[in-house]
Amino acid sequence: MGQVIKSLFTKNSKKMQINLFMFGVLAPGKTTIINKFKNGKIVESNPTIGYIYEQIKYKDKRFDFKEASGGYRLYEIFKRLINDSDAIIIAVDSSQLIYGFYENLLQSTLKSCLQELIQLKKEKIPILILANKTDKSQHSDEEIISYTSVNKYQDIAFFKLIRTNCFTGEGLLEALEWIYENVQK
């Protein structure tokens, strides 16, 4: 009987929790976005080396954010963090898309994340692109989508680009709502 109750509790708890893996390269504002979600204000933070874990309550669900950063070291970290993720969030500094090494790192990390998740999931994987620093953006939505390469994976994933400004909060409520509505549990 204890196992049945534990099983029911675990299933109901799981429905209330959404696991999110967030990454980006070169200071796109990931930690600031999470702090704004969590505290409703900007909190001074240092660049993330490795990963951070934060929980945010939104409506009747708990969002568990795992944010990874650290340049080329990111690739080693993500495999430990991605396995139980229900969705991927890619944060991009939309004011400057740096091509070459960082673009390749972002694209190869996304590809590897999707390869890991597709083995675990039977449905398409939700991906949210946060085009942060939109007040300074000089790039179109199409350029940002191409930069992330998410459009190459429409057979195994679906995505949404939301322009955000972590200082003013622009787009952040829309981002939470999109996750809430589109991540199935």
Least confident of 68-72, 111-115, 120-124, 175-179: 68-72
CA distances from 176 to 2, 59, 169 (A): 35, 10, 12
Look up residue 42 and give its DSSP letter. Answer: -
pTM: 0.84
CB 153: neighbour CB atoms within 10 A? 19
Chain centroid to CA 117: 14
For the chain, the average pLDDT equals 83
Q: Could you give the angle at the alpha carbon of 102 between the alpha carbons of 99 and 107, nearest 5°?
A: 95
Predicted local confidence at residue 69, as pLDDT: 74
pLDDT band at residue 72 under the 50/70/90 scheme: low
Predicted local confidence at residue 67, as pLDDT: 86
CB 25: neighbour CB atoms within 10 A? 23
pLDDT band at residue 18 under the 50/70/90 scheme: very high
Predicted local confidence at residue 142, as pLDDT: 95
Domains along the chain? Answer: 2-182 (3.40.50.300)
Which residues, in sequence order, are CB contacts of 5 under 8 Å at separation 6+?
A: none
181 token code pair: 């509505």
> pLDDT tens digit string along 134-163?
899 889 999 999 999 999 999 999 999 999
Q: Could you give the angle at the alpha carbon of 13 between the alpha carbons of 11 and 16, nearest 5°?
A: 115
Say yes or no to pLDDT of 7 above 60: no
Q: Percent of the chain beyond pLDDT 90? A: 39
pLDDT band at residue 123 under the 50/70/90 scheme: confident
Least confident of 10-14, 76-80, 180-184: 10-14
Residue 112: is it exposed, middle or buried by C-beta count within 10 angstroms (0-12/13-18/19+)?
middle
Element holding 104 (H helix, E strand): helix 101-120
